[in-house]
Amino acid sequence: MLTVTDVDQGRLLARERVEPGAVISLTYVHSTEGRPVRATLRVEADRTLRLIETAYPSVGPGLPPLGPDGTWSIEGGQIVNRAPAAPMSELRLRAVPRTQHRLLMPSGRELDLGALAPPGDAIRLAVE
């Protein structure tokens, strides 16, 4: 099960059954650049999450640096970075209205994370 939890409130925000290989997309507006970012994560067989792609308009603070040739490209005016990333047992973020965090679940259900939790609360994504 993929769970989305408001850690500060101890409240489950969403839950969805997932299989290995399922893809999750997180979009947001970069807090300092004010430009859109998309992070694509894959559910692994060991219940971890792996960042498989990040798309952003320019290199900036908090965004992955460009890796070796062949790990990134320019597509539709965005840098699409596919550099290998280590698996994560969970992903935590803090959503505030300005960043417009949206989570697209494998089922196609979209969650407005800023509307589901009080601004600045820690939100945790994990496969349990």
**Contact call for residues 43 and 121 (beta carbons, < 8 A):** no
Query: Per-residue pLDDT for 64 more than 90?
Result: no
Domain count, the chain: 1
How far apart CA 32 and CA 25 sit, in angstroms, is 21
pLDDT of residue 63: 79
- Listing from the earlier edge strand, what are the strands of the sheet with 102-104? 72-75, 78-81, 49-56, 36-43, 23-29, 102-104, 110-112
Q: Does this model's pTM top 0.85?
A: yes
CA-CA distance, 71 to 83, in Å (whole number)?
5
**Which residues span the domain enclosing 57?**
2-127
pLDDT, residue 27, reads: 96
Mean pLDDT rounded to a whole number for the chain: 92
Can you give the pLDDT at residue 69?
A: 84
